[in-house]
Structure 1
Amino acid sequence: MRLGLVTSGYCMARQCLRKNVPLHRVCRRNVTGAGSTLDFNVDSKTGIAVLSMNKPPVNSLNLEFLTEINIALEKVENDKQCKGLIITSDLPKIFSAGLDITEMYQPDIDRLQEFWRTLQDMWIKLYGMSRVTIAAINGHSPAGGCLMSISCDYRIMAPNYTIGLNETQLGIVAPFWFVDVMFNTVGFRQTEMALQLGTLFKTDEALNIGLIDKVVPQEEVLNAAKLEMERWLKIPAFARQLSKTEARRPTIEKLIKRKEEDIGYFRDYITKDAIQKSLGMYLESLKNRRK
């Protein structure tokens, strides 16, 4: 039953995708509005799209939210007028808290597998996107939020936040393609230590190791991303796109070849009694914090 809980905005956007409706029309009429988890705007003069996540309280990535993001990414890729994409958050102090733990705790197996497949597809679209992508990180960005950030071409972050793949702190393990992207970004030794320790890097620490590229004040993050985008868009598009494709293709093809194997491994691992117990304890701790 949970698979049917898809928002009306998603359904309308999917219909527009099939009909090849221009991106700016989808954004204005279907993706934004009451109940939407995405705020989408495209500057018709510059061709720069801004995707702002708006899923309170922490932009957690569940099946429906990932599906909406996938549709948005596909529209950006297919719209010839769109030259670049900035991903940011509408929520205060949080970019994205990552994967929704409730998708993994006492799950329906069919939904669990669909959830993971949708996450795989989101990453393949984002990491392999031919358009310029910039993460405007205006809040904390752990786990899946970090994955989204480091899958972009460039990362700008506000001070006094944290970012990293901290899965081991929850008793779970980052899949190989999370590891590969981290390794491609900061190198083997930093990746090895960070993944084992579940390190969340403070903004300045992330800058020092190359996990992010620039730090600006909170109120300047989005404008800084737009200015940075202008620099990237000055490069001849074909040459830039081909360079990106050549650099990222091996990492993407590795997951594509092992998608079903990866889904099976995730399903079998996350449903182990010890892992379920750990996730249950974590969810209980979150409830206690809110009291």
Structure 2
Amino acid sequence: MAAAAGLLRATVGLAAASSLHRPGLELRRAGAAAAAAAASFTSARRSYGSEAREEEELRVRYLDDEHKGIVVLGLNRPHAKNALNKNLLKMMSKAVDALKSDKKVRTVIFRSEVPGIFCAGADLKERAKMHSSEVSSFVSKARAAINEMANLPVPTIAALDGIALGGGLELALACDIRVAASSAKMGLVETKLAIIPGAGGTQRLPRTIGVSLAKELIFSARVVDGEEAKSIGLISHVVQQNEAGDAAYRRALALAREFLPQGPVAMRVAKLAINQGMEVDLVTGLAIEEACYAQTIPTKDRIEGLLAFKEKRPPHYKGE
């Protein structure tokens, strides 16, 4: 039960061309394998209903007190191993749309409310009921939701306290920082699931760990645990799982608190400069940085930061 409770199942595979338009036998078998693997990671330490109401499939929590400014998005589909369905994608898009224009939001943590699993990928049971013409629309919406997450102007952290399969891994890759929990008593269960075609996995993975290694993982559909994921740069931090099964979330929360004292405008433009700069040559990237830096010049954050540096004291930002 505790064994591998925080295992990151970064399984990467490619769907056959025929699978782009209809869920085939291989995907159905992969879905069944994913469900079986996920079931072995559930924990009795936290109690969840057998099925969440639709409006609760994504829980949005605005933290307060010393965590004010941190927002937690929690996947909550225990009966489906947090698989991505139409409703969940719709809720994610709605939540992200609200967050991106909220100036009080400083960091977003993406986690699971279900013990032992982050996300099992696409909801293949729902996909099996779709007409072939609906599948393309579903994939486009999945891609859009993940892109919206990636384009949030504030730092985002994925807390992986369980397995991440297919689209679940792609969700994590869309976040700026990934934290995974590991266990010294892991029992690996081979699970194979194809990446949602066109949702971004073949593009984000090589940008994260390098082209050659990304190809190796994709071609082999290899399963990697938290320790290996850390060694190849897939995640930033790996922590020992705790009794509550939320060690990755706790580490993500600690990281988010480190971000809070920083100037909000500076954080936003820094993320923008990094994201855009990585897609161009160095000279163009430096020009992007200059343009972004110019946005911080008239702000109270910059003035306060300069005063704090001069006085050698912690800054006391008043907000934007």
Name the structure 2 match of 1:17.
Answer: none
Name the structure 2 match of 1:42.
Answer: 62
Whether 2:191 is the aligned partner of 1:191: answer no
Taking structure 1 as reference, are residues 240 and 171 closer, same or farther at Cα in structure 2, changes over 3 Å only? closer
Distance (Å, rounded) in 2 between the aligned partners of 1:135 and 1:170: 20
State the 1:132 CA deviation.
1.2
* Aligned residue type for 1:116: V
Distance (Å, rounded) in 1 between the aligned partners of 2:153 and 2:166: 24
Q: Which secondary structure state, in structure 2, belongs to the residue aligned with residue 246 of structure 1?
A: helix
Taking structure 1 as reference, are residues 244 and 157 closer, same or farther at Cα in structure 2, changes over 3 Å only? same
Aligned residues: 217
Taking structure 1 as reference, are residues 174 and 208 closer, same or farther at Cα in structure 2, changes over 3 Å only? farther
Contact 2:157 2:176 in 1 (8 A): yes
Aligned residue among 240, 258, 268 for 1:241: 268
Bigger radius of gyration: 2
- TM-score, structure 1 as length reference: 0.67
Q: Which has the higher contact order (CA 8 A, sep 6+)?
A: 2
Structure 2: unaligned runs, 5 residues or longer: 1-51, 280-320
State the 1:88 CA deviation.
0.6
Contact 1:103 1:112 in 2 (8 A): no
Aligned residue among 68, 81, 97 for 2:104: 81
Matches for 1:8-87 after TM superposition, within 5 Å? 34-35=53-54, 36-45=56-65, 46-57=68-79, 58-87=81-110
RMSD of equivalent CA atoms? 2.8
Distance (Å, rounded) in 1 between the aligned partners of 2:77 and 2:266: 36
State the 1:34 CA deviation.
4.7
Identity of aligned residues (%): 24
Q: Which secondary structure state, in structure 1, belongs to the residue aligned with residue 153 of structure 2?
A: coil
Contact 1:135 1:155 in 2 (8 A): yes
Name the structure 2 match of 1:203.
Answer: 226
Superposed CA deviations along residues 100-120 of structure 1, whole A, max 9, x for unmatched, are: 123443631343233122112
- TM-score, structure 2 as length reference: 0.61
Q: Which moved more, 1:38-47 or 1:181-190?
A: 38-47
Name the structure 2 match of 1:155.
Answer: 178
Contact 1:66 1:119 in 2 (8 A): yes
1 or 2, which has the higher helix percentage?
1
Q: Which moved more, 1:235-244 or 1:184-193?
A: 235-244
* Aligned residue type for 1:47: G
